[in-house]
Amino acid sequence: MFLSADKVYGSLIGSVLADAIGACFEGLPVNKLRSQFSGKLAAFDYGVTRDSLNYTDDGEMTLALAEYLAENHTIISRELMRRFVQTYQSWRGYGRGTRVLIEAFRDNAEYEFMASHLFPGGSLGNGAAMRSAPVGLRFHGDTSKLWEEAKQSAWPTHRHELGIEGAQLIALATSLAATVTEITPSRLADLLLPSCSTVVFQNRLARLAKSESDADIEQFGNGIEAHESVVTALACFALYPTDYRSAVATAIWQGGDTDTIASMTGALVGAHLGSAFADALPVERLEEGPEFIGYVRGLAERLAAS
């Protein structure tokens, strides 16, 4: 099944832009955030108009994974880890475990042991989910292949079943976003549930199916753990599937891990809409300017053709 380069570009730029916008609120408690701005759209607009618009670890790893997938038919987790090491810029703000593992792999330290034991059962952080949208764009026609490849995309840094399943859900949701015309919370939840094997995510998806408004989103969390952020992003997308600004603003409005929840939300809306949403936004101010946008367009074309 064909996926247009425009949808791939929409997802990549939607993710990277939302990461850059959300980054200036990262770690803010929800009460503090909501007392500083008159509403979610005001917060979004503040984030957009800041002088520098730089992506963080979320964008860096998403682009690295997209590059890898444009060149490879299947993911070999150690090869992918090598790619993450090559693109690693510590100032982008990585989660602790991911930073430690990248540096251990780079320095030929006890990487394999640490990947499994740094946290009990491996990491359940959202660092694998935040980068997995390109897996959905690359393997969108084949759910079982997509699900396995998403596991391999998580494996370099995230070995806990929740860290892995978070990545699988974002990848599958991205492929659904790109191909399903009518998205609603119940439709998205119904399409994701059959693949889902953890009770934690099954319960959250069952509650996603019943979500109707912003007031229903808070229950899904705003944390750095996969199960406290992935369904939050799914809900922001499913409530505003055709409105990038509202969807990403809703993600930011949750406080906490704003760059990451916004970035996952932006990847989903961008895959759904294609690139048209970006016309109204200053994407040319991302990173070093028009050159960066040209790079992402080229990457999207290569990924779509792969």
Minimum distance between the CB of residue 217 and ligand 8NA, rounded to whole angstroms?
Answer: 18
Quick check: 228 binds ligand 8NA (CB under 6 A)? Answer: no
Tally of residues, the chain: 306
Q: Which is nearer to ligand 8NA, 40 or 160 (CB)?
A: 160
- Report the candidate in 91, 97, 152 with the shortest Cα–Cα distance to residue 120: 97
Minimum distance between the CB of residue 178 and ligand 8NA, rounded to whole angstroms?
Answer: 24
Phi, psi of 130 (to 5 degrees): -65, -20
Quick check: 123 binds ligand 8NA (CB under 6 A)? Answer: yes
Query: Could you say which residues in the range 172-201 bind ligand 8NA, by CB under 6 A?
Result: none
Q: Which residues contact Mg ion by CB under 5 A?
A: 56-58, 257, 259-260
- Under 8 Å between Cβ of 168 and 195: yes
Binding part of the chain for ligand 8NA, among 65-73, 114-122, 146-154, 272-280 by CB under 6 A, reads 114-122
Quick check: 222 binds ligand 8NA (CB under 6 A)? Answer: no
The option from Mg ion, ligand 8NA, none interacting with 264 (CB < 5 to 8 A, set by class) reads: none
Cα 67 to Cα 136: distance, rounded to the nearest angstrom: 14
Total Cβ atoms within 10 A of residue 285 = 20
Cα 234 to Cα 288: distance, rounded to the nearest angstrom: 30
Return the residue of 124, 133, 173, 234 that touches ligand 8NA, per CB under 6 A.
124
The option from ligand 8NA, Mg ion, none interacting with 223 (CB < 5 to 8 A, set by class) reads: none
Return the residue of 11, 15, 62, 98 that touches ligand 8NA, per CB under 6 A.
98
Helix pair angle (199-209, 161-179), 10° resolution: 30
Phi-psi label, residue 52: left if phi above 0, alpha if psi -120 to 50, beta otherwise: beta
Alpha helices in the chain (DSSP H): 5-22, 30-36, 40-49, 57-71, 77-87, 96-106, 111-117, 133-138, 143-154, 161-179, 185-192, 199-209, 230-239, 244-252, 258-273, 290-305
The option from Mg ion, ligand 8NA, none interacting with 98 (CB < 5 to 8 A, set by class) reads: ligand 8NA
Single-letter residue type at 236: C
The option from ligand 8NA, Mg ion, none interacting with 225 (CB < 5 to 8 A, set by class) reads: ligand 8NA
Quick check: 160 binds ligand 8NA (CB under 6 A)? Answer: yes
Single-letter residue type at 224: I
Binding part of the chain for ligand 8NA, among 80-88, 116-124, 184-192, 207-215 by CB under 6 A, reads 116-124
Site string for ligand 8NA, 25-64 (x = CB under 6 A): -x-----------------------------xxx------
Q: Which residues bind ligand 8NA (CB under 6 A)?
A: 26, 56-58, 93-98, 119-121, 123-127, 130, 160, 224-225, 257, 259-260
